[in-house]
Amino acid sequence: MDNKRDELRRTRTWSRKLQEEGDVSSAGNDPELDQLRNESAEFNARVHHALAEIPVPPELREQILARRKIIPVSGWRRHQVLLRIAAAFLILGTLAAVFWRPSSEDKTFAGFRSRMVAFAIRQYSMDIHTNQLASVQSHLASHGAPAQFSLPPGLAATPVIGGASFAWQGKPVGMVCFKSTGGETLYMFVIDSADAPGSRDFEVSPQKNLGTVTWRSAGKTFLIAGEVPLQDLEQLVKS
């Protein structure tokens, strides 16, 4: 900082010298030009003098050196892209493990009955609404679900209200819905017996506040469920 102060002082001295030389060289010349030169030299001298008198803070050097340095990190954008790609692969791997892992659900008839009863409790929606059993069977056949079957007389006399087709464990399932005498909906599910092993020829069982009756016929297993007394369901199937 002392070097800067000395330089400013030398500049001021040079300005004064220039003024003196201008005074000598301008003798006998244009007075107005001489006055302009004198005024300019005086102004420059005053500016240099004022600058030289400005005190320099003693801690200025340390403050400048202590300023925070920002060092750009090369390749950061490339690292960000790599991190995002890695995160995407991690998410995909997690989803694959969830959706492609082997199902732990019981693949026997017990598992089938549990799932169908859950459908009935949620009031499974129908794909077709009709009072004609033949129309429901035609719909099931067109969607690959079991459709060629006959019903016990008592159930065949119960009004049909519709049906649907879907799959359980990748196996086709047909559903026919009936209206009981008390107005409740009865859900009858039919599946090939080989696709839900373990069913009995005839079984009456309460399941989750619903009555269920199971029977087998012509290589197919039937399950009917409804919020009705077990004896009423049994009577429909046995009659």
Using CB atoms within 10 Å of the CB of residue 142, give its burial: 0 to 12 exposed, 13 to 18 middle, 19+ buried.
exposed
Amino acid at 98: V
pTM: 0.57
Higher pLDDT, 161 or 124: 161
pLDDT of residue 40: 74
Q: How far apart are CA 89 and CA 23, in angstroms?
A: 85
DSSP-assigned beta bridge partners for residue 164:
175
Section 195-219 average pLDDT: 92
pLDDT at 215 over 80: yes
Section 221-238 average pLDDT: 92
Q: How confident is the model at residue 237 (pLDDT cuts 50, 70, 90)?
A: very high
pLDDT of residue 66: 67
SS3 9: helix
Section 79-84 average pLDDT: 70
Give me the sign of the Cα torsion angle 149, 154, 155, 160. positive
Q: pLDDT > 70: what percent of the chain?
A: 66
pLDDT of residue 26: 47
Spatial neighbors of 38 by CB under 8 A, at least 6 apart, are 19, 22, 23
pLDDT of residue 132: 96
pLDDT of residue 47: 67
Q: Which of 32-41, 61-70, 102-111 has the highest mean pLDDT?
A: 102-111
Distance set, CA 91 to CA 83, 94, 98, 100 (Å): 12, 5, 11, 14
Q: How far apart are CA 49 and CA 13, in angstroms?
A: 9
Phi, psi for 188 (deg, rounded to 5)? -110, 125
pLDDT at 71 over 70: no
Q: How confident is the model at residue 70 (pLDDT cuts 50, 70, 90)?
A: low
Question: What mean pLDDT is reported for the chain?
Answer: 80
Spatial neighbors of 105 by CB under 8 A, at least 6 apart, are 111, 115, 169
Q: How far apart are CA 79 and CA 90, in angstroms?
A: 16
Q: How confident is the model at residue 85 (pLDDT cuts 50, 70, 90)?
A: confident
pLDDT of residue 103: 54
